[in-house]
């Protein structure tokens, strides 16, 4: 820092400081693009390899080496299977297959849990992972991001005399693992941010903070911290009597 005419003027950085700034700027621009391309390419190759192993004669096709062909074929096959399953013959085949799977001790547990989860998530009327909340965890005064997966039902709801919600609390930086909490509805704060912004916040460990689009607006779910009670106000002195 140097002083000129009584003012403090910041000293400009050298050439190496500018090189470092340019490097980090380029890294910030190229890293997301490269990671996106790498993950997308890896996913396409994985799907292509799986389809090549499941579809007979796939490697003999002229366009088998084109990237993404396996993905297209997989989407088409799943759509065809869905169309067949919607008919009478398809439903009969599915019932027959499920009856066979339900007789296998370990397989029936995996199949039943997977089918129930997919039916709940894919259902158009499902509210799973559509609401972002704040919940105090693991103790009072500490808040974490959570996702409402639905209302609490079954024996858990019968045993607890409260309006409960199922909350999935993801871990950082891997949001696919986490904890299942049964929380009273009045003890959670519903946020206006989207699920995508909440996932970015969790994965980045709090580095990427979504913009607060509802700043200044009062929301029905907002909670204000209780302030400690102050000292009682001193009693007002009695007014002086008027003298005649």
Q: Are 50 and 70 in contact (CB under 8 A)?
A: yes
CA distance 59 to 69: 11
- Residues ≥6 apart with Cβ < 8 Å to 131: 147, 148, 190
pLDDT tens for each residue of the chain, 244 residues long: 445 555 555 555 688 888 888 888 888 888 888 988 998 889 888 888 887 777 777 777 777 777 888 888 888 888 888 888 888 888 888 888 888 888 888 888 888 888 877 776 676 555 677 899 999 999 899 999 999 988 899 999 999 988 999 999 999 888 888 999 999 999 999 999 999 999 989 988 888 888 887 766 655 555 544 444 444 444 444 444 444 4
Burial (Cβ within 10 Å: 0-12, 13-18, ≥19) of residue 146: buried
Whole-Å CA distances, 185 to 121, 131, 160, 193? 21, 12, 12, 18
pLDDT at 142: 94
Asked whether the bond before 173 is cis by omega within 30 degrees of 0, the reply is: yes
| Residues making up the chain, counted from first to last | 244
- In 55-175, alpha helices (H): 69-85, 88-101, 105-122, 154-159
Terminal CA-to-CA distance of the chain, rounded, Å? 73
pLDDT at 135: 94
pLDDT at 11: 53
The DSSP annotation for 173-192 comes to S-TTSEEEEEEEGGGSEE--
CA distance 188 to 169: 12
CA distance 59 to 65: 8
pLDDT at 217: 62
- Residues ≥6 apart with Cβ < 8 Å to 143: 134, 135, 136, 137
pLDDT at 98: 86
pLDDT at 231: 40
CA distance 93 to 66: 34
Report the greatest alpha carbon distance in the chain.
118
CA distance 22 to 29: 11
Domains parsed from the chain with CATH numbers: 131-203 (2.30.30)
Asked whether the bond before 149 is cis by omega within 30 degrees of 0, the reply is: no
């Amino acid at each position: 820092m140097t002083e000129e005419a009584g003012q403090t003027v910041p000293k400009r950085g050298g050439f190496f400081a500018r090189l470092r700034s340019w490097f980090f700027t380029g890294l910030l621009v190229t890293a997301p693009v490269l990671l996106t391309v790498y993950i997308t390419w890896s996913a396409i190759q994985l799907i292509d390899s799986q389809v090549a192993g499941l579809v007979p004669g796939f490697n003999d096709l002229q366009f088998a080496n084109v990237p993404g062909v396996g993905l297209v074929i997989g989407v088409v096959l799943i759509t065809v299977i869905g169309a067949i399953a919607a008919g009478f013959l398809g439903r009969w085949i599915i019932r027959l297959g499920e009856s066979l799977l339900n007789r296998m001790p370990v397989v029936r547990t995996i199949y039943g849990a997977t089918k129930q989860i997919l039916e709940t998530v894919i259902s158009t009327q499902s509210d799973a992972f559509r609401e972002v909340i704040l919940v105090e965890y693991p103790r009072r005064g500490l808040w974490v991001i959570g996702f409402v997966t639905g209302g609490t039902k079954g024996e858990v709801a019968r045993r607890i005399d409260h309006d409960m919600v199922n909350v999935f609390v993801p871990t950082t930086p891997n949001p696919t693992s986490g904890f299942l909490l049964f929380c009273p509805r009045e003890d959670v704060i519903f946020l206006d941010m989207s699920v995508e912004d909440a996932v970015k916040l969790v994965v980045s460990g709090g580095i990427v903070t979504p913009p607060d689009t509802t700043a200044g607006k009062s929301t029905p779910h907002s909670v204000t911290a209780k302030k400690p009670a102050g000292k009682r106000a001193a009693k007002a002195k009695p007014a002086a009597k008027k003298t005649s």
